[in-house]
Every structure is written in C-alpha cells, then in structure tokens.
Amino acid sequence: MNKPVLRIKNLTKSFGDTVVIKGVSFEVNPSEVIVVIGSSGTGKSTLLQCLNLLHTPDAGQIFLEDEEITSLDVNEDKVRQQMGMVFQEFNLFNHLSVLNNVAIGMVKVMGMPAGEAAKKAMKELSRVGMADHSEKYPAQLSGGQKQRVGIARALGMNPKVMLFDEPTSALDPELTGEVLAVMQKLATEGMTMVIVSHEMGFAREVADRVIFMENGYIEEQGTPEQIFENPRSQRTREFLSVINRK
C-alpha cells in the first residue's frame, strides 16, 4: 500500500473575520486525480493555495509524503519546488520566451546548467504540444497555448503533485479542449493531480475522486459515479441540478 502523497488534517483558514475553510481533511494517493467542485466562494481556490503554502493555514496540518509542511521551521521554497501549480490567469513570465519560462525555474532554483535546462524544457514543451513555439513570447500566444506553457513550467520542476487552480476558467470554450487534453494525458502518465474546476465532463472522465466543497467544508466525496449519479447529500444534488441546467 503506497503512502499518500498529501495528507490534509483539519485545515482551517480565515481571512479577517470570515472563515473560508472550516476544518477540511482528506488524503491524496500517488497517481490519483482529484477534482474539487463547488460553487464560487466556497474556498476551493484557497484550499489549493494552502496546499503549497501560498497562504498559511490558521489551523490544521498538511503532510507532503512524510514531511509536515505546516510546521514552523519548514522551508517553504523547498516545499513549493515539489508541488507544481497552474493558475487560472496563467501568470507566465512576460519578459521571457516560452523556453525560458519553462527553463528559468530549473536554472535559478534547481541550479541546472543552462544547456541541460534548455533540453529538459524542450522535453516538457513537447509533452504539452508547445515545442514549436519555444522562441515566442507569452504576448504572442493564445490563452490555451499560454496555459499549456504554464503546465510545462510546473512540470519542469519535477513535482510530486500538480495543483490546478481553475485552469480553464479564463479560456474561451474552443480553447479549453487543448488544455484538458494535456491534463488528461498527464493523468494517464500517472501524475498525482488536485484540480479545482467547473469542467464536470472532465471530472467524470478523468477524476479518480470528486470532492464537493460547500461553505468551506467537504460536503461529500467519492468516485465520479458516486457523486454524479448517486449523490448522498441534498446540497450536492442541488448543486448538480444547477450545473446540469446550464
């Protein structure tokens, strides 16, 4: 039995007076694809940003393999090197070429020589289908292309788990397909992924587990079949009926 990649215990996070995450606990096993769904403002993105310590949890513990990353003396930078994050707004480095966007982390953070980093960067770009665009700059790319480069950039750091924060929410509908295809490919290659998304079709197809979040806590979780076909909770049923009506 492989040990979990991520263990989250009683995670709590507030902003000012508002408690955004109210004691969330779950585990992520190796090569598992978890999709977190829920209405806006239920703390899904905040949860993800707590996982790689972009926000500091107020209470609770997070374990990355054996290391407790919420302990006070942890090196946050080293933790973030092991988790890849893909953002809704892409956040590509605008002053760098596509190749250097992927390579800069390898060179500056991992200390790789430039030639080796360039080769590895091209490999990751090929993985997402962007190798032909290596010399372009982010401003010259479409949204879907930018997001694929964002995925390559995160992959370049050899992460143990990939975190996706609504990766297709800022894209035109025609462009979401290319990004979802890359994500599906990563899943079949065995990447451990935690994805916050509204793409129910993707969740049905690719997720091993779906977590439905409501008001800052986990209302229900299970396989896609369980959640989408046989939801146990009333709130889950209400949410899904709203989604299906669209």
| Residues making contact with other proteins (CB under 8 A) | 52, 54, 77-78, 80-82, 84-85, 87, 89, 91-95, 104-105, 108-109, 137, 139-140, 153-154, 156-157
- Count the neighbouring beta carbons within 10 Å of the beta carbon of residue 188: 10
Q: Quick check: helix, strand or coil at residue 241? A: helix
CB 162, min distance to other proteins, A: 11
- Tokens 């143990």, residue? 160
For other proteins, the closer CB: 152 or 218: 152
Q: Which of 175, 182, 181 is nearest to 152 (CA)?
A: 182
CB 74, min distance to other proteins, A: 13
CB 150, min distance to other proteins, A: 8
For other proteins, the closer CB: 141 or 210: 141
CB 61, min distance to other proteins, A: 21
For other proteins, the closer CB: 1 or 139: 139
Query: Residue 7 pairs with which residues in a beta bridge?
Result: 27, 63
Pair type for strands 59-64 and 67-68: antiparallel
For other proteins, the closer CB: 56 or 188: 56
For other proteins, the closer CB: 107 or 122: 107
The structure tokens listed for 101 are 């966007």
CB 196, min distance to other proteins, A: 15
- Give CA separation, 7 vs 81, 143, 210, in Å: 18, 33, 16
Separation of alpha carbons 57 and 54, rounded Å: 9
Q: Which of 170, 186, 213 is nearest to 84 (CA)?
A: 186
Backbone CA torsion sign across 125, 130, 131, 133: negative
For other proteins, the closer CB: 183 or 227: 183
CB 231, min distance to other proteins, A: 33
